[in-house]
Structure formats: C-alpha cells, structure tokens
C-alpha cells in the first residue's frame, strides 16, 4: 500500500502527530479513520506501520506498531539530465526515483529546448516525494538546483561521483558490474543530443561515454534504461 511522508519519524519513535498536506491526504483523500493502520515513510531509510489513535480537525495522532530500518546500498546512482519539453522531464524524475536514484541534477546544455522557471526545483521535489510514497522507496532523493552543463559536471566530480555520459555515438563501452561498486552518475542529453563542443568537454574532463542500446533512445527512455541496467547489475551481483 502507499506510504505517507513522516520526516520526523525516528527508529525509537512510539507516538507521532501529523498535520498539513499529509494530514489532508490521509484523512480527506484516502479517508482513513481512527483505528486504521497506515504505512509511514521517513524518506531517510525508515518504513513504519502505524495505527491511527485520534483525528481532530487539523491533526491526527498515531502509535507506531512496527518500524524497519533500510540501509542504503554500498554504492548509489544519480542522474543528471538536461531539461526536457512538455512533461517528459516529470516522467523521467518520477521513474528514476522509483528505481532508486539518490541525487537528481537538472542541467541546461547547448541544445536544451526548455529553460528553468522559478518553480522547476519545487515541481521536481513534489514529484520525488509522491514517487517514494507510491513505491515505498525509503530514501527521498535530493533534487539539486538547475545548472549549466560544465559547472554541473564539475560539481558531480567534487561530490565524488563517477560520471558516465550516455552517448548517441554508440561507443563500445557498456555499463558493467564494476561501475556499480562506486557512486555513479549518468549524464542524459536533451532532445537534440550532445553538441560537438560538449563531446569535447567530456574528453577534456575524462568523462567516459557509454552505450545503453543499439537504438537511439528518447532522453526519458535513456534515463529509465540506465537506472534499470544499474538495478539489474546490482541484483545479479
């Protein structure tokens, strides 16, 4: 069943009160009543089963029945993608959150069709929150501010990520088990692909290019494909 976001949840929490948006979702959208059991998600590794003890006009109080701590994997993947037109980037953010991305880096590149607007960051944050609640992913990914490509890559390297550029040139380099042993970030280009200057940038920063498919993929499909291949390799190790 879907979970509800409770960032104040700790491993030793016994009682909890919820207000605001989550109160609205629990009481008015899902219409839970006193005595019902619901699932809570801390977004930081904890999933709990809780019983609704009381409901007032603006607050509900819960008792924690059971709480389970999930440890993060030894290595995590992140995704850096160039903003897409329409709602394609919303789909991308939703699906890679469901697949376990720990960091999300929106970028602007030479051939990006769309530019950021004031609510871009908050919109992506709402999507990630809805996604972890729907699929019980106990880790809420961090959505970073939108950056241009070069400073974005430089930040990824400073954060210790192994950066892999997903390339339409179909290099004979594929994601492998060795890649999953380090924190890895996939770079996904815009609808128009990477420019020649950006390929030069990858070479100057020693960013390897990888091939995800024998076909040219849409940007959102490439992101889902990269995240799925990462998960498949982890499960097979």
Report the chain's C-alpha Rg in angstroms. Answer: 20
pLDDT, tens digit, 9 for 90 and up, residues 145-194: 999 999 999 999 999 999 999 998 888 999 999 999 999 999 999 988 99
Angle among Cα 107, 113, 115 to the nearest 5 degrees reads 55
Quick one: 49 and 146 in the same domain? no
On whether both 63 and 85 belong to a single domain, the answer is no
Percent of the chain residues topping a pLDDT of 90: 89
Which residues on neighbouring strands pair with residue 188, listed in sequence order?
81
For residue 111, CA distances in Å to 107, 189, 191, 207 come to 11, 9, 8, 19
β-bridge mates for residue 105, sequence order: 80
Q: By the 8 A CB rule, do 175 and 237 touch?
A: no
Q: Who's near 126: CB < 8 A, 6+ residues apart?
A: none
Judged against a pLDDT cut of 80, whether residue 237 lies above it is answered with: no
At residue 104, φ and ψ (nearest 5 deg) are -130, 125
**Distance between alpha carbon 128 and the CA centroid of its chain, in Å?**
6
The residue from 69, 96, 121 where one domain ends is: 69
**Domain's final residue, options 50, 69, 88:** 69
**Average pLDDT for 76-81:** 97
Q: Are 31 and 126 members of one domain?
A: no
Whether the full predicted model's pTM is greater than 0.75, yes or no, is yes
Structure tokens at 23: 């109160």
Among 69, 97, 115, give the residue marking a domain's end.
69
Identify which of 36, 11, 5 has the alpha carbon closest to the alpha carbon of residue 125.
Answer: 5
Asked whether residue 140 falls in the same domain as residue 29, the answer is no
Q: Please tell me whether residues 222 and 200 are part of one structural domain.
A: yes
Domain residue limits at 137: 77-236
Q: Are 105 and 157 found together in one domain?
A: yes
Residue 22 makes CB contacts below 8 A (sequence gap 6+) with 4, 5, 6
Half-sphere exposure of 2 (CA within 13 A, CB side): 15
Kindly state whether residues 141 and 51 are assigned to the same domain.
no
Q: Is there a single domain that holds both residue 104 and residue 168?
A: yes
Domain count, the chain: 2
CATH of the domain at 13: 2.40.240.20
Residues 50, 131, single domain; the answer is no
33 lies in the same domain as 106: no
Rounded CA-CA distance 228/181 in Å is 16
Q: What is the CATH number of the domain that holds 213?
A: 3.40.1280.10
Structure tokens at 225: 């494909």
In this prediction, residue 208 has a pLDDT band, given cuts at 50, 70 and 90, of: very high
- Over the chain, what is the mean pLDDT? 95
């Amino acid at each position: 069943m879907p979970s509800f976001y409770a960032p104040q949840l700790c491993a030793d929490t016994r009682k909890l009160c919820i207000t605001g948006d989550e109160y609205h979702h629990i009481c008015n959208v899902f219409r839970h009543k006193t005595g019902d059991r619901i699932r809570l998600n801390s977004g930081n590794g904890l999933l709990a089963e809780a019983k609704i003890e009381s409901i007032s006009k603006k607050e509900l109080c819960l008792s924690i029945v059971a709480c389970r701590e999930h440890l993060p994997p030894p290595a995590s993947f992140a995704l850096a993608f160039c903003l897409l037109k329409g709602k394609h980037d919303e789909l991308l953010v939703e699906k890679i959150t469901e697949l376990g991305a720990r960091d999300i880096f929106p970028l602007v590149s030479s051939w990006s069709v769309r530019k950021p607007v004031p609510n871009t960051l908050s919109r992506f944050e709402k999507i990630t929150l809805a996604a972890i609640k729907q699929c019980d992913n106990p880790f809420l990914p961090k959505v970073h501010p939108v950056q241009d490509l070069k400073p974005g890559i430089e930040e990824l390297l400073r954060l210790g990520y192994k950066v892999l550029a997903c390339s339409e040139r179909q290099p004979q380099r594929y994601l492998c088990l060795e890649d999953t042993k380090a924190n890895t970030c996939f770079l996904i280009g815009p609808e128009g692909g990477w420019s020649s200057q950006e390929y030069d940038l990858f070479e100057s920063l020693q960013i390897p290019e990888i091939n995800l498919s024998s076909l040219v993929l849409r940007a959102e499909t490439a992101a889902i494909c990269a995240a799925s291949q990462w998960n498949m390799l982890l499960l097979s190790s």
